[in-house]
Amino acid sequence: MHTMARRRAGSKALIKDINKILVLSTIREQGPVSRTELAQLTGLNASTISKICDDLHKRDMLFDVGAGQSSGGRRPIQMLFNNNLGYIIVVKIEDARIRLALANLKPSIMDDYSIPFQRGGSYPETIGLIKTEIQKLRAKLDAENKELMGVGVALSGIVHHNQGKLMGSTFLGWAEEDIAGDLAEVAGAPVYVDNDINCYALAQHWLGSGKGESNMLCLTIGQGIGGGLVLENKLYRGNAGGAGEIGHMICEQGGRRCYCGQEGCLEGYCSYPALRKDIQQELGLSLTMEEIAQKAQSGHTGICQLLEQAGKRLGSTLISLCMCIAPELIIIGGEGITKLPSYMDGVNKQFGENWFSRSGMSPIPVLFDEPGNRFFLLGTALLVVDRLFGAPLFEEDNPLLRESLSSTI
């Protein structure tokens, strides 16, 4: 949302809404479930469950599926959440294109296309392009009598999620832009904006390898190094969205000057541009990342050593981060990361030396993942899903809690 919503005061209506969201999210996450199972899972009594489920049924928010397991007698009916109750428009701004998609509440990505865009383009021009596409997608949903429940926008930079504002993006060259505010009118539904790596972390947490892990650290390695933190089952954004800027953690005092103004940032040693530069300077080879991967896989000693050195540096930073947040899992994603075995070896060698693996605590697994772009789109849709199913503690319009939906599917 582009403005901070007011907190709701305690009232009967608030309790009713909290229970309704609790039931809905339990069915959504754990369905199919019977009413008896629902009572056990939520701790609500049978008559409250009955009242809520009857109401949700009437509004087509749930549907019944085949009979479940029974210990004898009549088999209980199980319920599933209607993921097609509403839809989400997904927008992801990249360096050479803007990706757009529709998603349902599962979320599943349905239409996925991109329009050309060039990094360095002005903000007003870009937002104009996005507005046109949102209008088209809204018209499509309207024509099919489908309700738009929110718009998710992902981009590189520091994003103040609660205000829907981009604080700054060195990558895109924009600063202090009210993205949610600028898109509010054309969207006609809440607009949620976040950093793209945060969206990636959200997707890993809900749908990927991090499912079921309460504390998780996600990194992406590529042009830069980004990070997303899930702490106690919530995406941790920090002050004004500044959390997770792992690429600008200092790994060398008085080291290489970074474009951010600091010296010795991790990104200056471990990102792909840094690797290419090192290989050129140390070995006199001017190579693309694909060529580096090929040479590393065929055992080029010089390249393997440089990759391992960079991996070790990253491994040391991971140890420091683990000392601070003690995650259950680390996921390192990035285009082509799994094609750089020496880099991964370096990370594993260094990280294997961490205190956690020597103490009585269980070792922290490090997964290398090729996320694919779809994961970023799913994460962007989850920005909206996360808000719809979050505790209704603020005065904001949640279509799931409205007395009647404009359409039912």
Per-residue mark of binding to Zn ion, 71-110 (x: CB under 5 A): ----------------------------------------
Cβ 365 to Zn ion, closest distance in Å? 28
Please identify, using beta-carbon distances, which residue of 262 and 408 lies nearer to Zn ion: 262
Separation of alpha carbons 164 and 184, rounded Å:
10
Per-residue mark of binding to Zn ion, 193-232 (x: CB under 5 A): ----------------------------------------
Which are the contacts of 252, defined by CB distance < 8 A and separation ≥ 6? 263, 264, 269
SS (H, E, C) 337-356: HHHCHHHHHHHHHHHCCCHH
Cβ 274 to Zn ion, closest distance in Å? 11
Structural tokens at position 192: 């949620």
In terms of C-beta density within 10 A (0-12 exposed, 13-18 middle, 19 or more buried), how is residue 24 classed? buried
Please identify, using beta-carbon distances, which residue of 139 and 260 lies nearer to Zn ion: 260
Stretch that binds Zn ion, among 82-90, 219-227, 262-270, 350-358 (CB under 5 A): 262-270
Which residues partner with 228 through β-bridges? 218
Q: Which residue has the tokens 């949640």?
A: 398
Please identify, using beta-carbon distances, which residue of 273 and 372 lies nearer to Zn ion: 273
Length of the chain, in residues: 409
Cβ 41 to Zn ion, closest distance in Å? 46
Please identify, using beta-carbon distances, which residue of 47 and 239 lies nearer to Zn ion: 239
- Residue 258 three-state SS: coil
Cβ 119 to Zn ion, closest distance in Å? 19
Cβ 258 to Zn ion, closest distance in Å? 3
Is residue 243 within 8 Å of 230, Cβ to Cβ?
A: no
Separation of alpha carbons 172 and 56, rounded Å:
44
Q: How many residues bind Zn ion (CB under 5 A)?
A: 5
Counting contacts by CB under 5 A, is residue 381 touching Zn ion? Answer: no
Residue (of 347, 341, 256, 269) closest to 303 by Cα position = 341
Stretch that binds Zn ion, among 101-109, 261-269, 278-286, 328-336 (CB under 5 A): 261-269
Residue (of 155, 325, 347) closest to 230 by Cα position = 325
Please identify, using beta-carbon distances, which residue of 208 and 247 lies nearer to Zn ion: 247
Please identify, using beta-carbon distances, which residue of 174 and 269 lies nearer to Zn ion: 269
The DSSP string of 172-220 is: TTEEEE-HHHHHHHHH-S-EEEEEHHHHHHHHHHHTSTTTT-SSEEEEE
Phi, psi for 273 (deg, rounded to 5): -60, -35
Cβ 242 to Zn ion, closest distance in Å? 13
Cβ 266 to Zn ion, closest distance in Å? 8
Separation of alpha carbons 228 and 243, rounded Å:
8
Cβ 174 to Zn ion, closest distance in Å? 18
DSSP state of 146: -
Please identify, using beta-carbon distances, which residue of 182 and 245 lies nearer to Zn ion: 245
Please identify, using beta-carbon distances, which residue of 170 and 407 lies nearer to Zn ion: 170
Please identify, using beta-carbon distances, which residue of 19 and 262 lies nearer to Zn ion: 262
Counting contacts by CB under 5 A, is residue 393 touching Zn ion? Answer: no
Cβ 14 to Zn ion, closest distance in Å? 44
Applying the rule CB under 5 A, the residues between 241 and 260 that interact with Zn ion are 248, 258, 260
Is residue 30 within 8 Å of 212, Cβ to Cβ?
A: no
Which are the contacts of 72, defined by CB distance < 8 A and separation ≥ 6? none
Counting contacts by CB under 5 A, is residue 265 touching Zn ion? Answer: yes
Please identify, using beta-carbon distances, which residue of 213 and 245 lies nearer to Zn ion: 245
Separation of alpha carbons 133 and 44, rounded Å:
43
- Residue 384 three-state SS: helix
Cβ 216 to Zn ion, closest distance in Å? 24
**Which residues of the shown chain bind Zn ion in the complex (CB under 5 A)?**
248, 258, 260, 262, 265
